[in-house]
Amino acid sequence: MIDAAIEAMEAQPEYARLLFETQPSIIQNEEQNEAYIEQVAELLHREQSLTPAETKLVKLLTLIIEDFEEKNYALPKAGPNAAIRFLMDQQGLKQKDLAEVFGTPSIVSEVLSGKRKLNYEQIRKLSERFQVSPELFF
């Protein structure tokens, strides 16, 4: 515990130096985003391990990058039907391949056409089948 506290105190000047050199700020454009991504990649892919100050900087830059990308690259929310169709396409499945999830091929057809809503059990099975969050189907 004492060693960690001493290490943290010693890291402060290094962190201040890194902040001064990097001057991180809210990302305004794609060029700045790419520059921050490159900085993080360089730190993470070098041979020696990161110092505590470098780890702190990587975490800060990652938060800034995530904020920019969430605001600028957020995908529109797809409905459950579109999500199922996308997952089926990605795995080369046909409607009949989901009969075990829905019980019958006709229910699969009704769900995909929007005539029938998913129930909780179907959502659970789809989530397990495709290894995705159940949230995708709400």
Q: What average pLDDT does this structure show over 27-49?
A: 93
Task: Please report where in the chains the tokens 């459950």 appear, as a residue.
Answer: 80
pLDDT digit string (tens) for 56-114? 999 999 999 999 998 887 666 778 999 999 999 999 999 999 999 999 999 999 999 99
- Per-residue pLDDT at 4: 63
pLDDT digit string (tens) for 99-121? 999 999 999 999 999 999 999 99
Closest among 58, 47, 51 to 24, alpha carbons compared: 58
Contacts 24+ apart (CB under 8 A), 129-132: 129/98, 129/101, 130/87, 130/91, 132/87
For the domain 80-137, what is the CATH code? 1.10.260.40
CB-based burial, 10-28: b 16+ in 10 Å, e otherwise = ebeeebeebeeeeebeebe
Torsion angle of C-alpha atoms 33, 75, 122, 107, degrees rounded to 10: -150
Domain definitions of the chain by residue range:
2-72, 80-137
Supply the pTM of this predicted model.
0.53
